[in-house]
Amino acid sequence: MIAERVGGLRVFSLLILVLACLSLSLAGCSTTERDETVNWSADRLYSEAKDEMNAGNW
């Protein structure tokens, strides 16, 4: 009887651990920021990066 409780508790703990890891993994994959540079050309990316570097933002 006690062995059944310990086994059930172990399974429950493992289930909670798996659910917590799954939740953290999914939260890490979510994104809220929008990429402004997605449609920029290579020349514009280079120009913006060069301007930022010259301004000391590196």
Q: Is the pLDDT of residue 1 over 90?
A: no
- The phi, psi pair for 25, rounded to 5°, reads -65, -45
In a domain, 38, yes or no: no
In a domain, 41, yes or no: no
pLDDT of residue 3: 56
pLDDT in tens, 2-58: 556 667 788 899 999 999 999 988 887 776 788 889 999 999 999 999 999 999 987
In a domain, 52, yes or no: no
* CB neighbour burial string for 27-56, b if at least 16 within 10 angstroms, e if fewer: eeeeeeeeeeeeeeeeeeeeeeeeeeeeee
- Domain residue limits at 9: 1-25
Domain count, the chain: 1
In a domain, 16, yes or no: yes
